C-alpha cells in the first residue's frame, strides 16, 4: 500500500449520504511516508491552535499536551506518544484508516486503546473537514488520555458502549449523545470562567472562539438525562454546549448502571439541539460568571 491516501474499502449509502467505508483493521503509522506538505499542515494547525487555546482550553488539556512534547516540527510518532501514555495511564494509541463501526470503536476504548486516524487533512481543508483525521484525533483527543479521571471515563464509556450496543439502537443513540456533548464538545467551569475540553472544539479554529465568545449558543450545566435526550448537529457549530464543574463530576454522574436510565428515557421525546427548557442551568456568558435558571439567558 502506498500511504498517501487512506485505504477506502468501498462506499456505502447511509443516513448521512454516500460515505466511504474503511478497513477496520489496526494499521502501523506509515510515518516515513508523510510528505513535506503533511508535516507543514501539522505545523500550521498546531501553531494556530496552541496560540488560540491559551486561556480558552482547560488547564489539564494544555499541561498534558505539553507533557507529550508534541511540537510543530513534525507529525508525532505514535510510538513516542505511547511511551508517555504507557507510564502515565496505560492507554495506547492504535492507527486506523478512519471512522470505525461503533462496536469496534467501543471495544478499543474498553481496552484502553484509542484509535487514531493516521492520515492528515489536505491544505485546502485546514478549517473544516467532515471526518476525523490525524490532527483532530492526536491534537484533540490524546492530551486528556494523560488525565487519570478522564482516562478512566473514556474506558468506562467504551464498556458502556459495548453494553448499550447489546441493548438496542435507542440506548446507543442516548449514549452517543453523551460522547458528543462531553468528549467531543464539552466545556468545563474553571478559574471563574468557562474553558474548553471537547476535542471537536480544540481542533477547530472557528469553534474554539465561537463556543466561548458568541452570544448565540446555549451553555447549560451538565445534566445526564438532559444530554441523553438532546439531539445534535454534525454540520454546523453546536447550538448547545454542556458545562461540567470537574472531571470527577462527569465520572461520578456516569458511573451508575445506565440500564434503568435507558428504559426511562425510551418513553420521553428527544429535545431539539437549540432548545432551552425550564429548569436548565443556563450560563450567561462564555467567559463571564454567574448562573441562571429557567431559561433566563
Ligand X SMILES: C[C@H](O)[C@H](O)[C@H]1CNc2nc(N)[nH]c(=O)c2N1
Count the alpha carbons within 13 Å of 281 in the hemisphere toward its beta carbon: 14
Is 203 catalytic? The answer is: yes
Is 246 catalytic? The answer is: no
Question: Binding marks (x or -) toward ligand PHE, 131..170, rule CB under 6 A?
Answer: ----------------------x--xx-xx--x-------
For Fe ion, the nearest residue by Cβ is 199
DSSP H or E run through 129: none
Is 214 catalytic? The answer is: no
The one catalytic residue among 184, 199, 207, 283: 184
Count of residues in contact with Fe ion, rule CB under 5 A: 1
| 108 annotated to bind ligand | no
Interface residues for ligand PHE in 225-264 (CB under 6 A)? 254-258
* Of 264, 244, 84, 85, nearest in space to 171 by CA: 264
Given the rule CB under 6 A, which residues bind ligand X? 96, 99-100, 102, 105, 115, 132, 176, 179
Give the residue with the Cβ less far from ligand PHE, 124 or 257: 257
* The C-alpha cell that represents 217 in the structure block: 449558543
Give the ranges where the chain is alpha helix by DSSP (H): 36-53, 59-67, 78-88, 102-110, 134, 148-167, 169-179, 199-202, 205-213, 224-229, 247-254, 259-265
Give the residue with the Cβ less far from ligand X, 61 or 114: 114
Q: 249: exposed, middle or buried (C-beta count within 10 Å: 0-12, 13-18, 19+)? A: middle
* Of 172, 155, 161, nearest in space to 109 by CA: 155
Give the residue with the Cβ less far from ligand PHE, 119 or 153: 153
Q: 215: exposed, middle or buried (C-beta count within 10 Å: 0-12, 13-18, 19+)? A: exposed
Residues forming a β-bridge with 116: 95
Q: Does 51 bind ligand PHE (CB under 6 A)?
A: no
| 141 annotated to bind ligand | yes
| 283 annotated to bind ligand | no
Is 141 catalytic? The answer is: yes
- Active-site residue numbers? 136, 141, 184, 203
**Chain positions contacting Fe ion, by CB under 5 A:** 199
Residues near ligand PHE, by CB under 6 A: 153, 156-157, 159-160, 163, 178, 254-258
**Binding positions for Fe cation:** 136, 141, 184
Amino acid at each position: 500500500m502506498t500511504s498517501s491516501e487512506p485505504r477506502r474499502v468501498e462506499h456505502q449509502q447511509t443516513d448521512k449520504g454516500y460515505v466511504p467505508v474503511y478497513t477496520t483493521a489496526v494499521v502501523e503509522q506509515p510515518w516515513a511516508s508523510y510528505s513535506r506538505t503533511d508535516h507543514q499542515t501539522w505545523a500550521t494547525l498546531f501553531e494556530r491552535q496552541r496560540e488560540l487555546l491559551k486561556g480558552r482550553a482547560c488547564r489539564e488539556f494544555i499541561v498534558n499536551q505539553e507533557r507529550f512534547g508534541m511540537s510543530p516540527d513534525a507529525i508525532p510518532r505514535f510510538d513516542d506518544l505511547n511511551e508517555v501514555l504507557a507510564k502515565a495511564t496505560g492507554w495506547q494509541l492504535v492507527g486506523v484508516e478512519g471512522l470505525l463501526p461503533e462496536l469496534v470503536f467501543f471495544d478499543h476504548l474498553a481496552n484502553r486503546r484509542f484509535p487514531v486516524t493516521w492520515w492528515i487533512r489536505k491544505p485546502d481543508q485546514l478549517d473544516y473537514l467532515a471526518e476525523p483525521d490525524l490532527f483532530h484525533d492526536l491534537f484533540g483527543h490524546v492530551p486528556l488520555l494523560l488525565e487519570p479521571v478522564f482516562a478512566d471515563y473514556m474506558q468506562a464509556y467504551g464498556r458502556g458502549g459495548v453494553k448499550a450496543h447489546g441493548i438496542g439502537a435507542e440506548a446507543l443513540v442516548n449514549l452517543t449523545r453523551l460522547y458528543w456533548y462531553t468528549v467531543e464538545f464539552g466545556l468545563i467551569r474553571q478559574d471563574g470562567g468557562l474553558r474548553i475540553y471537547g476535542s471537536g472544539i480544540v481542533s477547530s479554529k472557528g469553534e474554539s472562539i465561537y463556543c466561548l465568545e458568541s452570544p448565540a449558543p446555549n451553555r447549560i450545566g451538565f445534566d445526564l438525562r438532559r444530554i441523553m435526550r438532546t439531539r445534535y448537529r454534525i454540520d454546523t457549530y453546536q447550538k448547545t454546549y454542556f458545562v461540567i464543574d470537574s472531571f470527577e463530576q462527569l465520572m461520578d454522574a456516569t458511573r451508575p448502571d445506565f440500564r434503568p436510565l435507558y428504559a426511562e428515557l425510551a418513553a420521553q421525546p428527544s429535545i431539539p439541539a437549540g432548545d432551552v427548557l425550564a429548569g436548565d442551568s443556563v450560563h450567561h456568558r462564555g467567559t463571564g460568571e454567574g448562573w441562571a435558571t429557567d431559561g433566563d439567558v
